């Protein structure tokens, strides 16, 4: 069994149901299987071998889904790259992964021209579009290849997807995900998170190189369609119109995306009644924002916590637990990341990797068939992250007696002020409740007396005194910000995560601290 076989099974069982939907084109599962087989055989005909890596530089489109699946059917691994990265970042990912084939969209031809001469391993370039500039043409390649399914022996533990971390603390690391990892993820989704049905339509509003692409596998397994907005740009009216047009039922979104949709005045102009599930994760979703989202769109939200190293979900908070109805315990659980899924083990450990009791803070570690085999070309980081057979996530948190896991912060983001540990997430949760605050990020900045003091960086209108007093009335005084700075926006990476490292750098330059 391998991940690509999910499409083969779906083509047998749901042959005439829609698999890909984009603009005015619908491709059935039978046709999708044919196209993916052809691309698999074309890769083999070019000389690529099982075990090779295939780079992908495509915006959200059905050809991207085919490019993810085809290498897996041929015993190769796909290396999806976020299109918003800089050419030098793409160069690093391609060289580090050793990709020898690159499938790219025509609009990135000039982008690639800046780095082609420095790509060490890429031998074949396949262009999706009508103007390939001398490279191989995607559709022509499919037409020339046979449609039978390639049948190499693919072991459960062979590499399937090279998932590069977002690089918030330095160069990205390539998490090596096997077919076992991905199929375990599919089981988690179907068991604990989102038991899809053939009638469902997954709308890819977030990048398919990340969570949205991983969500496609369990939809394919159950014969559900994958649809795309008319433009790859995240535009609320365009998203709402795509939900209406395709009768979309499901989306994966980052918290920042949900907040943008909630704030949009266009949300009442479209028929969104088909939408029954929004899976969210990839960053903190403050309780105040969750309440706003459920008020705006109903009880459709499912939270997941995972990493590229353990896709996509280690814990989940299901829809029914987003219904608070005045229950204080449910409101408390809404601030958690839920409980572990059936095929993952989560625990909290101290600095010596000893498990700590319920309610005590420590690092979140994970074990199970979801966990990657290691980082590509980085044995030191692999050994450190996977020491003792547990994935060390770098996230701090605690588990309550009922098994709900609360994430307080990244280990590197914790603030130590006057010997007291302060967790930015806790302060951010309070400030996010202020009516005049759209976004907030809390960091530690140098302080000659306390070593670090708490600084809040806030988007939208409020005065410094208002924010500090707001916190003073709601939390211990030592945790409240000592200073507040207002910004037009906060720096984010390609997946929408706030770059706290970048925020800290401007204050710690020359201070001798690794930020």
Range of lowest pLDDT (95-104, 234-243, 363-372, 493-502): 493-502
Q: State residue 514's pLDDT score.
A: 60
Q: Cα–Cα–Cα angle for 163, 38, 197, nearest 5°?
A: 65
Given this model, what pLDDT does residue 143 score? 98
pLDDT-wise least confident of 166-170, 243-247, 292-296: 166-170
> Looking at 64-78, 185-199, 312-326, 467-481, which range is the least confident one?
467-481
Superfamily (CATH H level) for 344-410: Luciferase; Domain 3 (2.30.38.10)
- In this prediction, residues 151-159 reach a mean pLDDT of 94
Whether residue 168 has pLDDT greater than 50: no
- Identify the residue with better confidence: 488 or 18: 18
Tokens 């918030």, located at residue: 168
Strands 405-410 vs 415-417: parallel, antiparallel or unpaired: unpaired
Mean pLDDT of the chain: 92
170: pLDDT strictly greater than 70: no
Q: With bands split at pLDDT 50, 70 and 90, how would you rate the model's confidence at 308?
A: very high
Q: How far apart are CA 374 and CA 379, in angstroms?
A: 8
- Confidence check: pLDDT of 331 > 90: yes
The confidence score (pLDDT) of residue 510 equals: 65
Q: What is the pLDDT of residue 283?
A: 77
Q: Which two tokens stand for residue 336?
A: 């958690």
- With a cut of 70, say whether residue 85 has pLDDT above it: yes
How high is the pLDDT of residue 496?
A: 74
Q: What is the mean pLDDT of residues 310-325?
A: 95
Report how far apart, in Å, the C-alpha atoms of 94 and of each of 54, 60, 114, 122, 173 are.
Answer: 9, 19, 14, 8, 12
Beta strands in 328-477 (DSSP E): 339-340, 345-349, 362-367, 391-399, 405-410, 415-417, 420-422, 439-447, 451-459
pLDDT tens readout for residues 386-417: 999 999 998 999 999 999 999 987 777 878 77
For residue 503, give the nearest of 447, 451, 440 by alpha carbon. 440
pLDDT value of position 167:
52
**What was the pLDDT predicted at 413?**
82
80, pLDDT greater than 80: yes
CA distance to 235, 262, 293, 322, 323, per residue, from 268 (Å)? 15, 10, 13, 22, 22
Model confidence at 511: pLDDT above 90: no
**pLDDT tens, 232-258?**
889 999 999 999 999 999 999 988 899
The pLDDT of 211-230, averaged and rounded, is 97
- Residues 12-43: pLDDT tens digits? 999 999 999 999 999 999 999 999 999 999 99
245 CB-near residues (< 8 Å, 6+ apart): none
Q: Judge if pTM exceeds 0.95.
A: no
Position 495 confidence tier, pLDDT thresholds 50, 70, 90: low
What mean pLDDT do residues 338-343 have? 96
Domain boundaries, the chain: 5-322, 344-410, 414-508
Q: Are 274 and 250 in contact (CB under 8 A)?
A: no
Beta bridge partners of 421: 416
Distance (Å, rounded) from C-alpha 450 to C-alpha 447? 5
Kindly state the percentage of the chain with pLDDT values over 70: 97
C-alpha distances out from residue 261 to 46, 236, 255, 508, Å: 44, 6, 10, 35
- The yes-or-no verdict on residue 11 having pLDDT over 50 is yes
Coil, strand or helix at 488? coil
Q: Count Cα atoms within 13 angstroms, Cβ side, for 152.
A: 20
Q: What pLDDT is stored for residue 505 in this prediction? A: 84
Domain 5-322 has CATH 3.40.50.12780: yes
* CA–CA distance, 308 with 320 (Å, rounded to integer): 26
Considering only the top CATH level, what class is 414-508? alpha beta
């Amino acid at each position: 069994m391998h991940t690509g076989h999910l499409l083969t099974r779906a083509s047998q069982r749901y042959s005439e149901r829609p698999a890909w939907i984009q603009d005015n084109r619908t491709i059935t599962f039978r046709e999708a299987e044919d196209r993916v087989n052809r691309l698999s055989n074309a890769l083999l005909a070019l000389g690529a071998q099982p075990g090779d890596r295939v780079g992908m530089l495509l915006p959200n489109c059905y050809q991207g889904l085919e490019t993810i699946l085809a290498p897996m059917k041929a015993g190769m691994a796909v290396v999806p790259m976020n299109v918003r990265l800089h050419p030098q970042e793409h160069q690093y990912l391609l060289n580090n992964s050793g990709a020898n084939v690159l499938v790219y969209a025509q609009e990135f031809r000039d982008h690639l021209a800046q780095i082609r001469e420095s790509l060490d391993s890429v031998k074949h370039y396949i262009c999706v579009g009508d103007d390939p500039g001398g490279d191989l043409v995607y559709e022509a390649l499919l037409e020339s290849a046979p449609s039978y399914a390639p049948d190499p022996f693919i072991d459960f533990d062979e590499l399937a997807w090279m998932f590069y971390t977002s690089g918030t603390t330095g160069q990205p690391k390539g998490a090596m995900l096997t077919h076992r990892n991905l199929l375990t993820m599919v089981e988690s989704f179907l068991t604990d998170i989102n038991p899809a049905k053939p009638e469902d339509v997954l709308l890819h509003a977030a990048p398919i190189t990340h969570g949205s692409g991983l969500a496609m596998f369990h939809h394919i397994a159950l014969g559900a369609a994958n649809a795309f907005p008319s433009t790859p740009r995240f535009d609320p009216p365009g998203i709402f119109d795509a939900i209406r047009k395709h009768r979309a039922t499901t989306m994966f979104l980052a918290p920042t995306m949900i907040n943008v949709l909630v704030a949009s005045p266009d949300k009442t102009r479209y028929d969104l009644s088909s939408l029954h599930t929004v899976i969210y994760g990839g960053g903190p979703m403050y309780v105040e924002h969750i309440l706003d989202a459920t008020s705006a769109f109903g009880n459709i939200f499912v939270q997941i916590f995972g990493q590229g190293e353990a896709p996509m979900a280690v814990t989940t908070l299901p829809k029914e637990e987003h219904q608070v109805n005045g229950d204080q315990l449910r409101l408390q659980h809404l601030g958690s990341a839920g409980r572990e899924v059936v095929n993952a083990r989560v625990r909290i450990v101290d600095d010596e990797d000893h498990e700590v009791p319920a309610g005590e803070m420590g690092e979140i570690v994970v074990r199970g068939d979801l966990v990657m085999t290691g980082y590509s070309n980085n044995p030191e980081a692999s050994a450190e992250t996977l020491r003792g057979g547990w994935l060390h996530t770098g996230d701090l948190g605690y588990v309550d007696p009922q098994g709900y896991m609360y994430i307080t912060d990244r280990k590197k983001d914790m603030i130590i002020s006057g010997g007291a540990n302060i967790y930015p997430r806790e302060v951010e949760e309070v400030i996010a409740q202020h009516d005049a605050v759209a976004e907030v990020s809390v960091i530690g900045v140098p302080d000659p007396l306390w070593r670090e003091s708490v600084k809040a960086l806030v988007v939208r209108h409020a005065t410094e005194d208002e924010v500090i007093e707001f916190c003073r009335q709601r939390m211990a005084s030592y945790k409240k910000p000592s200073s507040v700075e207002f910004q037009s926006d906060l720096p984010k990476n390609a997946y929408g995560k706030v770059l706290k490292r970048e925020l800290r750098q401007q204050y710690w330059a020359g201070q001798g601290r690794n930020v």
